[in-house]
Structure formats: C-alpha cells, structure tokens
Amino acid sequence: MKSMQLITQQRADFSLRILKNAKEMPVEDQKQIRTVANSIPAQIQRTGLGQTLAFALSKKDKADGKGWAFFHNLLQKWICEERNLYQGRDLMNSLTQGDMQQYQQAQAEALALLIWTRKFARAMLENGK
C-alpha cells in the first residue's frame, strides 16, 4: 500500500487484487464467491461480524463453502494484516476477546471493504447465467 493513498483507494486496490486472483479460480468457485459477495454485507449488518464469520466457518465443508471460506480469508487478511486492527492474530479469536471499540472498528472496516469487493465481484466473476 502507498502511504499517500486515501483509505478508500487502499480498499479498492486490495479488493481488485483479490478478485483478479478469484477470476482465475474454477467457474463454480467464482459463482459461489459472487453469491456470497452479494449477501455478506447484509448478514454482517443483521447479525454482526462475529456471527457472520462463525457462520462462514460452519460452511467450510459444505457444498457452498468455498465462497464463504474466500470471504473469511479476505476479511482475515484485510483486518488483521493490511489494516493491523488485530495485528498478526486470528480474526475470530480477536473479535471474541477484544474490546467493544475494536470490534466496532473491525465491523465498520469489513463493511467498507465489502462495498468494493461486491462491486468488483459483480463486474469480474461468473454469475451462473
């Protein structure tokens, strides 16, 4: 990341890089990622970041699990590595053990990132039609 970029530029750049990699995945995986991209922001708003990530972890071995695993990994990387809100730690553990302010900041950051991710997923990934 460049230090003279707006945070919105950093989010867009990160999302674009991740979705370019997803474009190389099998078509079925792209469809799952695109489906989850459309639903995960609303789910976070409804149930919270922690419960949404717990749901994503529960889907790991299911038929539609690749899309959920993709977003779990994306949020882990963005929040813990790129933004350093929980530097070098596991996101799920950090959410359950951190304070309320950190949780709210992580949730706000996730939602802001997902605006870009959803737009790029709609533009770049297969939709199953």
* Cα–Cα dist 110/75, whole Å: 7
- Model confidence over 55-112: pLDDT tens digits? 999 998 898 899 999 999 999 999 999 999 987 789 999 999 989 999 999 999 999 9
67-79 in b/e form (b: 16+ CB < 10 A) is bbbbbbebbbebb
pTM for the full predicted model: 0.91
Q: Mean pLDDT, the chain, as a whole number?
A: 93
Contact call for residues 37 and 75 (beta carbons, < 8 A): no
Tokens linked to 78:
């963005």
* Amino acid 41: pLDDT: 97
The better pLDDT of the pair 33, 2 is held by 33
* Amino acid 47: pLDDT: 97
